[in-house]
Structure 1
Amino acid sequence: MNIISWNVNGLRAAVRKGFLDYVQSEDPDIICVQEIKLQEGQIDLPLNQYHIYWNYAERKGYSGTAIFTKQQPIRSFHGDFHPAANSEGRVLGVEFQHFYLVNVYTPNSKRSLERLSERLEWEDQFFDYVKTLEDEKPVIICGDLNVAHQSIDVKNDKSNVGNSGFTDEEREKMTRLLNHGFIDVLRYVYPDRDDLFTWWSYMKTVRERNIGWRIDYFLISKPLLNKLEHFQVDSHIYGSDHCPIQMTIDL
């Protein structure tokens, strides 16, 4: 099973920039997208081979998540552990026979850290939520988690310490997830690579020089580790300030 995760920074814009060509070339079993920035009825996607699920934000042109899956799941769910999970469309999950897949767009703590306290509250409630799911069956978490966990996940780490997405508090919440038993797939496959980023500023030549951050993840429950087959970062794919990441797992 091949799963792609991509913060598209506006699905309609991404479609204009080649999203469907990328999907056609990769032919994934599941596509998880974040920051769709649209509401119901605002896009018509020619993805007839996929079952399509949405979690729209209440605010127009903001946030939101979607999952496109060839195999029909047992059910889809939005997660009700935090107000932003639904009002901002930040969590969308599907249940299959042997696992849960949770697509998440974690709130940004903002440049001035004005949303940091809410972000940390989110992290605590999200942690409890996925632990509850994991009590039933293994969990795959994917999406834009808005945190660079280690120094090698930021090109200019020293100058970014304490900035949004690289505060001690946010990084500690990711450490807690991993200590609980979730596996950071990229770091499992590439433990020492310091050039694998998934987000770049739109400032001129930043992406060309690979001055980026790794804030998009696949995290998997430990029982799924022996089923992992492949992982890659598609940094050559444009269309957003993030690039897609994809994982192949024998499920």
Structure 2
Amino acid sequence: MKMISWNVNGLRACIGKGFWDFFRLADADIFCMQETKMLRGQATIDLPDYEEFWNSADKKGYSGTAVFSKQKPISATYDLGIEEHDHEGRVITLEYDTFFLVNCYTPNSQRDLVRLDYRMKWEDDFREYLIGLDRKKPVILCGDLNVAHKEIDLRHPKANMKNAGFTQEERNKMTELLEAGFVDSFRLLYPQRTDAYTWWSYMHNARASNAGWRIDYFIVSERIAPQIQNSEIYQEIPGSDHCPVALTIF
């Protein structure tokens, strides 16, 4: 089974930059998106072979997630069931026979870390949500998790120690998640691979020079890690400031 995750930074804009070309080429069984910035009816989407699931933010043109799945899941749920977290369209959970798929767009701590305290609350609540699912069956988490976990995961770690996405607080929360029984699929297969980034700032010609961050992930329950066949980063695919990432699992 092949799964794709992509922060499209506005699906309507990404459609105008070749989204469907990549979608058809990837031919994924499950295709997850973050930062869709739209409602279902705001773009022409004709996918007879896929089930569609959408979670849009209350605020128009902001955040949002979606999943296209060839296989109809047992059930679909949205958000975390916690009032303070459930207005930005950040989580879709699909239950299949042998696993839960969770598509997530983690809140950004923002400039000057104005949302860091909220981010810490989100991290704790989201981790407990995943642990609860994992008690029932294995979990596959994907999405833009808005953190570069280790120094190897961004080009300029020293310069970004106090910036959103690389604070010690955020990195510690990722460590806590992994220590709760989960595995970063890419680092499991490629523990020392450098220059493997999934997001680049639009400033300073960052993508051309590959001055990026790895903040998009597939994370799985430890007990299904042996089923991972590949974890890929499609750095060559344009259309967003993020590139797609993939997980192949049997």
Normalising by structure 1, we get a TM-score of 0.97
Instruction: Please give the alpha-carbon distance, in whole angstroms, between the structure 2 residues aligned to 1:81 and 1:213.
Output: 30
Q: Which runs of 5+ in 2 are unaligned?
A: none
Deviations 1:113-151 (A, max 9, x none): 010000000000001100000010000000000000000
Stretches of 4+ moved more than 6 A in 1? none
Instruction: Please give the alpha-carbon distance, in whole angstroms, between the structure 1 residues aligned to 2:229 and 2:84.
Output: 34
Q: For residue 87 of structure 1, report the CA deviation from its aligned partner.
A: 0.6
- Whether 1:32 aligns to 2:32 is yes
Instruction: Please give the alpha-carbon distance, in whole angstroms, between the structure 1 residues aligned to 2:84 and 2:142.
Output: 17
Aligned to 2:214: 214
Question: Do the aligned partners of 2:78 and 2:93 also contact (CA within 8 Å) in 1?
Answer: yes
Q: For residue 81 of structure 1, report the CA deviation from its aligned partner.
A: 4.2
Instruction: Please give the alpha-carbon distance, in whole angstroms, between the structure 1 residues aligned to 2:191 and 2:56.
Output: 35
Q: For residue 44 of structure 1, report the CA deviation from its aligned partner.
A: 2.2
Aligned to 2:137: 137
Q: Letter of the aligned partner of 1:41 in structure 2?
A: G
Q: CA RMSD in A?
A: 1.0
Of all paired residues, the percent bearing the same amino acid is 51
Question: Do the aligned partners of 1:37 and 1:62 also contact (CA within 8 Å) in 2?
Answer: yes
Instruction: Please give the alpha-carbon distance, in whole angstroms, between the structure 2 residues aligned to 1:106 and 1:84.
Output: 14
Alignment of structure 1 residues 74-153 onto 2, 5 Å: 74-83=74-83, 85-153=85-153
Aligned to 1:60: 60
Aligned to 2:198: 198
Q: Letter of the aligned partner of 1:160 in structure 2?
A: N
Instruction: Please give the alpha-carbon distance, in whole angstroms, between the structure 2 residues aligned to 1:85 and 1:36.
Output: 17
Q: For residue 63 of structure 1, report the CA deviation from its aligned partner.
A: 0.2
Q: Specify the SS of the correspondent of 1:87.
A: coil
Aligned length: 250
Q: Letter of the aligned partner of 2:57 in structure 1?
A: A
Aligned to 1:10: 10
Q: Which runs of 5+ in 1 are unaligned?
A: none
Q: For residue 39 of structure 1, report the CA deviation from its aligned partner.
A: 1.7
Instruction: Please give the alpha-carbon distance, in whole angstroms, between the structure 2 residues aligned to 1:242 and 1:63.
Output: 14
Instruction: Please give the alpha-carbon distance, in whole angstroms, between the structure 1 residues aligned to 2:66 and 2:137.
Output: 22
Instruction: Please give the alpha-carbon distance, in whole angstroms, between the structure 2 residues aligned to 1:40 and 1:155.
Output: 36
Question: Do the aligned partners of 2:80 and 2:126 also contact (CA within 8 Å) in 1?
Answer: no
Q: Letter of the aligned partner of 1:90 in structure 2?
A: R
Q: For residue 30 of structure 1, report the CA deviation from its aligned partner.
A: 0.3
Question: Do the aligned partners of 2:182 and 2:221 also contact (CA within 8 Å) in 1?
Answer: yes
Instruction: Please give the alpha-carbon distance, in whole angstroms, between the structure 2 residues aligned to 1:205 and 1:80.
Output: 37
Q: Specify the SS of the correspondent of 2:124.
A: helix
Normalising by structure 2, we get a TM-score of 0.98
